[in-house]
Structure 1
């Protein structure tokens, strides 16, 4: 007598939502990282306004590794979305990406709270909030 084993098949729609979310988050992170590295001075001015002349180069120097870090997060998401076939693994990576985006947003906000900046830049907070929402939706709800 042979036994039949049945395995739960992953929901293809849920898997596709997860893959698309990873690709959206990855592409956005790579594009923002490239822009940060191509024109760090202009990027800083768009975020913070005019900067004191003596601080332009040091701020641009700090913007480069931030852009590189964003590109790395984006490339990891893009690579994993194309190579990993386990929906649970993809959801775990998306959840970790959401936590990372929350930590980055918290550090941006903490600059104002700790007195290092005059205000909270709205564009980075908006982008990070949207990326976090996409990651959380795809990892927890889809």
Structure 2
């Protein structure tokens, strides 16, 4: 699971769905949710998550594409196992991992160091509240002590 910290910049609550815009670094991320989470407000820090299988890779994406989330990336590593390929990409929002059929990866004809465009559908993104890792560690510390 890819997990990135972002800030909510806009919320458009419509009758059928809610459109959200997030900002992670210099990258704008669009999210479509069936309804606005009760805990969510503009300027909130959140995690947005998406599965490795939801990552689409484009080598020459000059044409029009219906997916709004486009993240420039550089391929940093490739690991092929059996019929699947695990690829890691460096982006301005952090490392993104992609999992795809080996045949699809080979068709892209990309190698380590190549620049690509990562596409993630607005519908494939999940949100969860951001919890400061330091605060979480303090809360969890008393619970992890073992009685002797």
Name the TM-score, length of structure 1 as normaliser.
0.19
Q: Which structure is higher in strand share?
A: 2
Higher relative contact order (CA 8 A, sep 6+): 1
Q: Based on CA coordinates, which of the two structures has the bigger radius of gyration? A: 1
Name the TM-score, length of structure 2 as normaliser.
0.18
